[in-house]
Amino acid sequence: MAPGGSGVPGRGQTGLLLTHTVVVQAATFMLRPASAYRALDLDVPAAWLGVLGASFAVVPLVLAVPSGHAVDRFGERRIVLAGSGLLAAAGACFVLFADSVAGLVVASMVLGTGHLCAVVGQQALVANRTAADRYDAAFGYYTFAASLGQALGPGLIVVFGGDRPIPDTGAIFLGATALTLPLLVAAASLRPSAHHRQAAGPAAGGLAGLLRQPGLVRALAVSCVVLAAVDITLVYLPALGAERGIAAGSIGVLLGLRAVASMASRLLLGRLVAAVGRRRLLIGTVALSAAGVGLLLPPLPLGAMAVVVTVSGLGLGAGQPLTMSFLAESAPPGLRGRAMSLRLTGNRLGQVVIPSAAGALAAGAGAAGVLACTAAGLAGAAVAATGLHQGPPSDPTPRPEREEPC
């Protein structure tokens, strides 16, 4: 049992963090679709649906870097606890104020802010409490837990709201709020690292110094492109199917195969890195995803599409945790919260800018043209990843207790 902690031993802390991660994502992926259903129930114009979707991201985009600074200054547990409280508050806002568009927008903004704080704190906790040689396994397990929560959330919509075209959103809001309450207990039980009490030192140079760390900007760029590719394929694979007369159920199976492949690659990430090395694996998996997306361009039988989509899912799943490992290793102790928040900022910008550009392209080139550009972007990200190098551990501080990988 580590001194000054919560009384929960290392392996228990790992389970607590992963459970917290699953529940945060599940609650978020219940509330976001449910808010859209409530808007449809209120006969909200289509243009306002876009505003509602953007309201989840706009405040986090502004607060991402400050939240990382808060993690480095006050400790991961306090920020995770704040995020958990905001998620519970968001659920209450949906319950109380979701009968108007303004109420939905405010509740979505609170939800986005709570999700941001929880995720930044979680990622910094993984980075600060894991030995550098185990980053890949730790972030692999962490992102697997996040994916599991994102898969469970939509399923819980059916559990609470029924299977009608527009479910009982009031019951979903209540169920999600009840789900967020244990998060407060779990967050309070997490043991923070000691890095927020360490001065980063003038050599670190704050945010500007962080951006000058070798490989950090490359890792941010690769992360941004990979996450945007995930979003684009989620939207434009169904569009490709519609253009080619493929049944929606078949496209749903393909998307499910991609998600399962991504989760499998994350679960096995530590072993894969041990076998081939982090940089080679990142280059190879991003290149593999580029090839997989590119092979969707010519017409293929459904069985061949299943193989190609599975291959691209394996590559896309590994990209995010591997870039987290590079960022955690590049950032000095005391700046890792800001490093993870920079990654989230880049990802948010990529999720806004790149799919918007893809939509403009689709007007003239169709879904196949969008996927071709996505494949080219992934190939460019693979080339950028060749400039990343795994250096010696950047954190020489001994830990009082050996942590299991998250």
Residue with tokens 């069985």: 303
CA angle (55 as vertex; 53, 58 as ends), nearest 5: 120
- What is the total residue count of the chain? 406
Return the pLDDT at 184. 92
What is the maximum span of the chain, computed from C-alpha positions, in angstroms? Answer: 62
Structure tokens at 131: 């030995």
Return the pLDDT at 356. 64
User: 200-223: string of b/e by CB count within 10 Å (b at 16+)?
Assistant: beeebeebebbeebebbbbbbbbb
193 by Cβ neighbours in 10 Å (0-12 / 13-18 / 19+) ranks as buried
Q: Is pLDDT above 60 for 9? A: no
197 by Cβ neighbours in 10 Å (0-12 / 13-18 / 19+) ranks as exposed
Which DSSP symbol is given to 100? S
Spatial distance between the Cα atoms of 38 and 104, rounded to a whole number of angstroms: 8
Return the pLDDT at 400. 42
Q: Contact at 8 Å (CB) between 123 and 64?
A: no
Structure tokens at 243: 């253009």
Q: Contact at 8 Å (CB) between 196 and 75?
A: yes
Which residues make Cβ contacts (< 8 Å) with residue 377, sequence separation at least 6? Answer: 225, 228, 229, 354
Return the pLDDT at 56. 83
Structure tokens at 382: 């693979």
Question: Can you tell me the mean pLDDT for 76-94?
Answer: 95
Which residues make Cβ contacts (< 8 Å) with residue 102, sequence separation at least 6? Answer: none
Question: Can you tell me the mean pLDDT for 6-11?
Answer: 55
Residue 240 binned pLDDT confidence (cut-offs 50, 70, 90): confident
Question: Can you tell me the mean pLDDT for 376-386?
Answer: 90
Residue 196 binned pLDDT confidence (cut-offs 50, 70, 90): low
CA angle (378 as vertex; 33, 349 as ends), nearest 5: 45
Residue 328 binned pLDDT confidence (cut-offs 50, 70, 90): confident
Q: Contact at 8 Å (CB) between 141 and 266?
A: yes
Please write the tens of the pLDDT for every residue from 149-186: 988 888 888 788 877 777 888 999 999 999 999 999 99
Residue 211 binned pLDDT confidence (cut-offs 50, 70, 90): confident
CA 390 to chain centre: 23
The percentage of the chain sitting over the pLDDT mark of 90, rounded to a whole number, equals: 34
Spatial distance between the Cα atoms of 262 and 258, rounded to a whole number of angstroms: 6
Spatial distance between the Cα atoms of 85 and 204, rounded to a whole number of angstroms: 32
Average per-residue pLDDT in the chain?
A: 82
Would you say the C-alpha torsion 264, 268, 270, 273 has a positive or negative sign?
Answer: negative
Question: Can you tell me the mean pLDDT for 308-331?
Answer: 88
Return the pLDDT at 359. 62
